[in-house]
Amino acid sequence: MKSPHTNFDKPKKASSSPRRKPEPEPAGRPRIHDVAALAGVSVGTISAVLNGNGRVSNTTRSHVQAVISELGYHPDFFASNLARRHTQVLGVVVSNLQNPFFAETAQAIEDEAARYGYQISLMATNFSPEHHRAAVKQLLGARISGIAIMTSEYDAVARQLILASGVPSVSLDVGKLAKHSSIIRVDSRGGMRTVVEHLIELGHRDLLFVRNSYKKDGQRLFSHKLRDEGFAAAVRACRVGRLKTNMVDISGPGADAGERAIASVFGKIHFSAVIAVTDMVAMGVYRGLQARGIRIPEDISVVGFDNTYFSRFLNPPLTTIDIPRCDLSKMTVEALLRPGAKSKKSLKLATRLVVRESTAPPHPKA
Amino acid sequence: MKSPHTNFDKPKKASSSPRRKPEPEPAGRPRIHDVAALAGVSVGTISAVLNGNGRVSNTTRSHVQAVISELGYHPDFFASNLARRHTQVLGVVVSNLQNPFFAETAQAIEDEAARYGYQISLMATNFSPEHHRAAVKQLLGARISGIAIMTSEYDAVARQLILASGVPSVSLDVGKLAKHSSIIRVDSRGGMRTVVEHLIELGHRDLLFVRNSYKKDGQRLFSHKLRDEGFAAAVRACRVGRLKTNMVDISGPGADAGERAIASVFGKIHFSAVIAVTDMVAMGVYRGLQARGIRIPEDISVVGFDNTYFSRFLNPPLTTIDIPRCDLSKMTVEALLRPGAKSKKSLKLATRLVVRESTAPPHPKA
DNA sequence: CTGAAAGCGCTTACAG
DNA sequence: CTGAAAGCGCTTACAG
């Protein structure tokens, strides 16, 4: 399994050249040398037309191009990048592809990067700091020209590695400013504030905040921490008579956590609205509530955070906080491509309340 | 924007070596040469400990390791792969990360590949054949040791490129068997059959099949075609009195399409159950139905296809066809890593009906 | 406008 | 057990 190309049964064909050739060449993939020979020009010229250098005449160029497509030649990425000393790729690491927020963010960054002719190399950590570190090492070894850390978890060693490498980086919410390193700060606090205000305005006074701060291994998620603090601050700021708040914090995958959160407090704690730390958690909350015959929003209001794609398809459509993917991806790519520009100020990413149908005034007799 | 590293303002420090050094070296990233010098051994020895070759003594090894971590050295991926002539990475191309089916599949393949020490390089095509082709070219240029095409769309040119390259490949549902090329055939037909039987058993006789075969550009999705055919075949096979079926085919993103499908037929066509070609479409169907005050499953039953993560969190939880990710990822990486093994037979992937709460007997007075 | 050659940073037979 | 050197397949000054 280690060497998928080995093929002992097949008698080796006599190698065409007397040089060292440990294996019969894999599949006759043409090299730049081959196209140069066939085209009757030098290797340097092939490279020039490949890379759009103006130095080659039109007739040569078109001839070379014909040969290239005749041979089905495409340059070796590794050799090319090695020689070029840098790549046109941006590394992006996210926590988990299954969570739509990360998938959507990755997609948005990819789209934006493509506008500048950059590709992205995407890695998922599954919330594990070890994977996180491994991903960063790998990306750094892959000589990416910038790295975006869009994870919920944090690893200080990985951060050190990045800083030490001098590769431009941007991270979400966490870390201190440093050379070549930008931080995009999502305005979680502002988001939470608008949520709480919205609920209070509707007449709610008994709020349940459902958190999902810890993963199974007991590791704390950084981005959630900020949302937690944002909620606390929002509550403190809203000086309203008899406002009561409760919290539950369940670990594990978001949707499951939301469902179990409801199971754990239902009937024990009184609340007329629940604020879920993410849309995924909100989805689980829906399930927990609805399985018990509770109607949303007539009996209980629910609000999420992230404005993931599916949130408007929930029943009822979820009121949630939007983190504008478009701004996020633009900021990210810009910070990576022009690390000098405004890295000195950290970048604020505003959030926005999207009111849909999961919030309403509390039930009269509640 | 093209050369993010250029820095004209800063006076160049005198280059330490008189050789060609176009730029001051980026960030003093250590090379294998540096660690060899510091450790007092040869470059070959460093490489040996890096790659776990047994040829180096324990004392040397641990000394070298100490130096490596002291320097924070990590090998250059490109140089390493170039020298090694192959990589330990599998290319996987999917249509769209936003669709949970693809995200989940990618994640599953990544996990499985990791068990063999392989990484994956993930590309999304956004359903565009051009992007599809570009992704394949790029992956081939990246010398991946296998390529998995897990897309809904198909591109014949890309397929040719892959076959010509001799790189082991696996694709989903589409294409003919060829050397080093496996096909995993999802049993869509069987899945559709169990769905139709399930519905008939429940008493349904008026089915609506909601398709999403075309993208905005009019391009037909291959995997959907098979499901369409599977449905037709299932209906034909079920010789039941007065079974009526209707179809709608709406293009665009799945969930939107589902919603619009209902909008377009509601009140015009009579049906007691809807079969959505994917879970995403089903999600939109839910929305379309529920926005009109229709209850699921009391008034109308709904079934999906894919068993994506969110389907059990829908309200009500969605009855759907499961495509076992675990088997799929296992087959995929096995086919890629041991292309000789069973590539001659195409691989069948069984599907399975997951009955949840979105299906029930039809409304009595319907 | 084009070619010859050095160099990118590793790995891997080949000698010792 | 270890080192010296060739080679991976490109790009890019440097000459012409």
The 3-class secondary structure across chain A, one letter per residue, is: CCCCCCCCCCCCCCCCCCCCCCCCCCCCCCCHHHHHHHHCCCHHHHHHHHCCCCCCCHHHHHHHHHHHHHHCCCCCHHHHHHHHCCCCEEEEEECCCCCHHHHHHHHHHHHHHHCCCCEEEEEECCCCHHHHHHHHHHHHHCCCCEEEEECCCCCHHHHHHHHHHCCCEEEECCCCCECCEEEEEECHHHHHHHHHHHHHHHCCCEEEEEECCECCCCCECHHHHHHHHHHHHHHHHCCCCCCEEEEEECCCCHHHHHHHHHHHHECCECCCEEEECCHHHHHHHHHHHHHCCCCCCCCCEEECCECCHHHHHCCCCCEEEECCHHHHHHHHHHHHHCCCCCCCCCEEECCEEECCCCCCCCCCCC
Of residues A275, A282, A278, A239, the one with CA closest to residue A259: A282
Cross-chain CB nearest to A5 (options B86, B107, B117)? B86
Look at the block and give the residue holding tokens 């699921």.
Answer: B296
- Nearest-CA distance from B280 to chain A in Å? 9
Contact list, A310 vs chain B (CB under 8 Å): 255, 283, 310
Q: Give the tokens for residue A172.
A: 């979400």
Q: Integer distance in angstroms from CA A65 to C1' D15?
A: 26
Is B145 within 8 Å of A4 when comparing Cβ atoms?
A: yes
Q: Integer distance in angstroms from CA A114 to C1' D12?
A: 26
B88 vs A249, higher pLDDT: A249
Is B103 within 8 Å of A104 when comparing Cβ atoms?
A: no
Q: Give the tokens for residue B38.
A: 């510091």
Which 62-121 residues of chain B approach strand C with CB closer than 7 Å? 73, 75-76, 79-80, 82-84
Of residues A307, A302, A357, A308, the one with CA closest to residue B287: A357
**CB A260 within 8 Å of CB A291:** no
Report the range of poorest mean pLDDT among A174-178, B62-66, B136-140, B328-332. Answer: A174-178
Is A107 within 8 Å of B100 when comparing Cβ atoms?
A: no
* Separation CA A261–CA A276 (nearest Å): 10
**CB B55 within 8 Å of CB B98:** no
State yes or no: pLDDT of B125 exceeds 90: no
Work out the pLDDT band at B2, boundaries 50, 70, 90: very low
- pLDDT (mean) for B266-274: 96
State yes or no: pLDDT of B159 exceeds 60: yes
- pLDDT (mean) for B159-164: 88
- DSSP-derived secondary structure letter, B293: T
Which residues sit close to strand D, CB under 7 Å? Answer: A 19-20, 31-33, 43-44, 46-48, 50-51, 53, 73, 75-76, 79-80, 82-84; B 20, 22, 40-45, 48, 54-57, 59-60, 79, 82-83, 85
Work out the pLDDT band at B266, boundaries 50, 70, 90: very high
Angle at B80 between CA B78 and CA B85, to 5 degrees: 95
Mean confidence (pLDDT) of chain B: 85
* Separation CA B333–CA B15 (nearest Å): 48
Report the range of poorest mean pLDDT among A61-75, B29-43, B73-87. Answer: B73-87
Work out the pLDDT band at B353, boundaries 50, 70, 90: very high
CATH numbers and ranges of domains, chain A: 32-83 (1.10.260.40), 84-186+325-350 (3.40.50.2300), 188-323 (3.40.50.2300)
Cross-chain CB nearest to B1 (options A86, A110, A337)? A337
**Percentage of the residues of chain B whose pLDDT score is greater than 70:** 90
Of residues A215, A216, A198, the one with CA closest to residue A207: A198
Work out the pLDDT band at A235, boundaries 50, 70, 90: very high
As ranges, strand D nucleotides with an atom below 7 A of a protein CB are 1-14
Q: Which residue on chain A is closest to B280 by alpha carbon?
A: A310
Work out the pLDDT band at A77, boundaries 50, 70, 90: confident
Predicted pLDDT of residue A187: 94
Interface test with A, best of B9, B21, B306, B313 (most A CBs within 10 A): B313
* Separation CA A71–CA A68 (nearest Å): 5
Q: Integer distance in angstroms from CA B47 to C1' C9?
A: 11
State yes or no: pLDDT of B257 exceeds 60: yes
State yes or no: pLDDT of A165 exceeds 60: yes
Statement: the pTM of the whole predicted model exceeds 0.85: no
Work out the pLDDT band at A178, boundaries 50, 70, 90: confident
- Nearest-CA distance from A190 to chain B in Å? 27
**CB B113 within 8 Å of CB B333:** yes
Work out the pLDDT band at B45, boundaries 50, 70, 90: very high
Is B315 within 8 Å of A315 when comparing Cβ atoms?
A: yes
Q: What's the start-to-end Cα distance of chain B, in Å? A: 63
Work out the pLDDT band at A186, boundaries 50, 70, 90: very high
- Nearest-CA distance from B245 to chain A in Å? 26
State yes or no: pLDDT of B61 exceeds 60: yes
- Nearest-CA distance from A285 to chain B in Å? 9
* Separation CA A342–CA A180 (nearest Å): 10
Predicted pLDDT of residue A263: 97
Predicted pLDDT of residue A202: 96
- pLDDT (mean) for B58-80: 87
Is B98 within 8 Å of A104 when comparing Cβ atoms?
A: yes
Predicted pLDDT of residue A2: 31
**Percentage of the residues of chain A whose pLDDT score is greater than 70:** 90
